[in-house]
Amino acid sequence: MKHTVLTGMAGTLGALLITACGGAAPPEEQHDEAATTRDAPPREAVPELVRSDGSYPTVPLEKDVVVVKVVQNAPINLQDAPSIQEGLAINVERMAHWIERACTEGKKPDFILFNEFPLTGYSAGTREEKLQFTIQVPGPETDRIGELARDCDTYIIFGSYATDPDWPGHILSLNPVIGRDGEVKEVYWKTRNVLRFTSDEIPTTTIENVRDRYREMYGIEREFPVLRTEFGNIAVSTVQVDPFVFAAYAMRGVEIMMRTATLFSKTDVQAIAFYNNMYSAMSNITFPPESGVPASFGGGSLIVDPRGRVLAEDPSNDESFIEAEIPIAEFRRGRSIPRYPLEVVKPVFDQYRQEVPLNHLDLPPEALPQTNEDMRDLLDRNSRWMNPGT
């Protein structure tokens, strides 16, 4: 890369847990570890991921109150476009239309949030087919959106299917953050796909399913990165129904969680904000009648406060934008990270065995699953629950 229920991020969450608890492993675990690693080379020290005093890093705020705007709109699926380049050009200009409206109607935005697929739409097919319907970050699309961000003096956030030369054959779910200066400030990988949620399994590559190689390439701090802006600490995630992922982000100091997910749960958005004492915004795609997708699956974008109360919402499937003010200075004043009872639950967590191990998609391009069915078969083969003793 040139410059999201139970989570599989066991290694990172373990480091977060130990850091947050302010202690080391129990004596018997230390003894066992010493017995097995006595002759091993020294481990590289884990950087500070969570401060032990409940505080978190920030940068000075430029203003006391910030404005978040959330756009819900319908892209053209690249699969249905006359050509991929023409489809991308159409979708970029559809984004430009909504950025222009968001910048000229209502209050001036500090953040504009789009959905998971505003540039590519969602296209069906095999891995080989889907690889065509992607972007690269940075690229001409982010350059154009950067121009719009500069003109509006705002951050612009969106999701996209993407490819990366460093990850041949992999379909990535990325969330770029474009800064007020038009530059890509951060790119958020999807942490994980929720598994066994439906009969279909998503074959996209996430941090979880290539975790060791991801960590080797980018570092452990890149697994739950926080973008510390002059308008507050933010992060972006496409993860759903996965409280541990968002708890990790909360421990890292996120104040505003930007979310891009399709077919999301309003309850999930409210609960995550409430449990983790953070503001949150969710953008959903909309589905036109010709898409064949029920209108009830589209729209419903919302912004909520740290108690889960709705600040702004469009419950319809119509293209629109919503806005809300966040009193970020007042919110930050005296705030600490959440007070999780990690020491209480740690004995149970230590014995929990994740069904599918990390790194299950760290495969040569030719071995990657081609379809959702192939992905389900791969999970079944790797399942510790279905294959006892593995």
**Tell me, what CATH number does 208's domain have?**
3.60.110.10
Rounded CA separation 239/106 (Å)? 30
Q: H-type helices in 173-232, by residue range?
A: 211-218
Q: Is residue 293 included in any domain, yes or no?
A: yes
pLDDT at 41: 55
Q: Is residue 379 included in any domain, yes or no?
A: no
pLDDT 10s digits, 139-186: 999 999 999 999 999 999 999 999 999 999 999 999 999 999 999 999
pLDDT at 389: 83
Q: Is residue 109 included in any domain, yes or no?
A: yes
Q: Of 180, 191, 130, nearest to 157 (Cα)? A: 180
Say if residue 130's pLDDT is above 90: yes
> DSSP code of 261?
-
Q: Is residue 137 included in any domain, yes or no?
A: yes
Are β-strands 227-229 and 232-237 bridged in parallel, bridged antiparallel, or unpaired?
Answer: antiparallel
Are 382 and 363 in contact by the 8 Å Cβ rule? The answer is: no
Instruction: Please give the C-alpha separations between residue 348 and each of 27, 342, 344, in angstroms, as whole numbers.
Output: 17, 10, 9
Q: pLDDT band at 372, cuts 50/70/90?
A: very high
pLDDT at 200: 84
Q: Of 334, 311, 333, nearest to 323 (Cα)? A: 311
Say if residue 31's pLDDT is above 80: no
Task: Say how many domains are in the chain.
Answer: 1
Q: Is residue 229 included in any domain, yes or no?
A: yes
Burial of 222 (0-12, 13-18, 19+ CB in 10 A): middle
Q: Is residue 51 included in any domain, yes or no?
A: no
Are 3 and 184 in contact by the 8 Å Cβ rule? The answer is: yes
Q: Is residue 25 included in any domain, yes or no?
A: no
pLDDT 10s digits, 177-217: 999 999 999 999 999 999 998 878 999 999 999 999 999 99
Residues in contact with 368: Cβ distance below 8 Å, sequence separation at least 6, in sequence order: 127, 169, 170, 203, 361
Say if residue 364's pLDDT is above 60: yes
**What is the chain's mean pLDDT, rounded?**
91
pLDDT at 285: 96
Residues in contact with 185: Cβ distance below 8 Å, sequence separation at least 6, in sequence order: 155, 177, 178, 179, 227, 229
Q: pLDDT band at 307, cuts 50/70/90?
A: very high
Q: Is residue 40 included in any domain, yes or no?
A: no
Output 41 or 366, whichever has higher pLDDT: 366
Q: pLDDT band at 131, cuts 50/70/90?
A: very high
Q: Of 119, 138, 118, 19, nearest to 73 (Cα)? A: 118
Are 267 and 282 in contact by the 8 Å Cβ rule? The answer is: no
∠ CA 104-93-295, nearest 5°, is: 90
Q: pLDDT band at 43, cuts 50/70/90?
A: low
State which residues form the domain around 156: 66-332
pLDDT at 45: 85
Q: pLDDT band at 33, cuts 50/70/90?
A: very low
Q: pLDDT band at 244, cuts 50/70/90?
A: very high
Say if residue 6's pLDDT is above 60: no
pLDDT at 103: 98
For residue 178 the two structure tokens come to: 């474009």
β strands within 57-193, DSSP E: 66-72, 111-113, 155-157, 160-162, 172-178, 184-189
pTM, full prediction? 0.89
Say if residue 5's pLDDT is above 50: no
Which residue matches tokens 């302010």?
22
Q: pLDDT band at 7, cuts 50/70/90?
A: very low
